[in-house]
Amino acid sequence: MLERLASVIHLHDLNVLAVADILILAAIIYQILLLIRGSRAVHMIVGVVVLLVLHFLTRPGLLYLPAVHAVLGDLLLYIPLAIIVLFQNQLRQVLARFGRNPMAAVISRKSHDNIVEEIALAAVSLASKRMGALIVVERELGLRAFSETGITLDAYVSYDLIVSIFQRSAPLHDGAVVVVGNRIRAACAYLPLTQNPNLSRTYGTRHRAAIGITEESDAIAIVVSEQRGFVSFCEGGRIEEDLDALALTRRLETALTPRRDPWWPFRRLKDPERSAESRHV
């Protein structure tokens, strides 16, 4: 019986390459399942499976419904396009990870020495004066496309410069400051707004831009609320609110400390839909 089972599943044809092929495919499928677990992708996949089952059942020879069968067949042709449109942010991040240098895990990142204290102190000072601010710090994925929308500065990060930029009467206060390494690359930069429908309506344009840039890239963002005087920290589409100087410094140090992460493009991405549930008020 075992011999018959082995012949049915072609066990005798297995070799080292075949086993490696199966294991790699299983690992990719597993990582994709982790990627979509708990997100709206699960509901979409269920919907697609239902459409496929209905399309199969309405074919000739079963419950033949020619009109329904034809409409479902045409609808299924647009499913790949719908997936690309709905999950463009996740796909963009996965492709960016594919294009990343595999040696980046062992190469130190851009220098962020001495900027944590300057940014934290400036953010808390602006919050105490109820002055809005938005600071974005680049990590591995470049922010050149966004920094080019603003005014180029290329100046060292300092408390005095950040506070001066976000004065209400300053011409550069309306927009984001983009920090690359230990330098301010640009000010008055425009960032993409988050499209998360579950986000609270209490958030204004600055907060939505801060969340949006962390969805589009691996950057981190610090946003100061002009109305409430809160300092918030954004990473991976998630927002933490009402941080004091010590908490903000710790979050910045943790986010900017070089880590030797394994190069794996299907690492679990932060789902922006769960950002509202994970924020700390």
Mean pLDDT along residues 167-191:
91
Q: Which residue range is the domain that position 72 belongs to?
A: 2-105
Residue 110 lies in a domain: no
pLDDT of 216 over the 90 cut: no
Distance CA 224, CA 176 (A): 11
Question: Which residue, of 73, 105, 137, is where some domain finishes?
Answer: 105
Mean pLDDT along residues 198-219:
88
Whether residue 196 contacts residue 213, with contact meaning beta carbons closer than 8 Å, is answered with no
Mean pLDDT along residues 73-82:
84
* Full-model pTM: 0.64
Whether residue 101 contacts residue 258, with contact meaning beta carbons closer than 8 Å, is answered with no
In whole numbers, what is the pLDDT of the chain averaged over residues?
A: 79
Question: Which residue, of 105, 138, 172, is where some domain finishes?
Answer: 105
pLDDT of 220 over the 80 cut: yes
Q: How many CB atoms lie within 10 A of CB 178?
A: 29
pLDDT score, position 18: 78
Same domain, 15 and 77: yes
Whether residue 129 contacts residue 89, with contact meaning beta carbons closer than 8 Å, is answered with no
Among 27-41, 182-196, 243-257, name the one with the lowest average pLDDT.
Answer: 27-41
Q: How many domains does the chain have?
A: 2
Whether residue 58 contacts residue 51, with contact meaning beta carbons closer than 8 Å, is answered with no
pLDDT of 164 over the 90 cut: yes
pLDDT score, position 263: 46
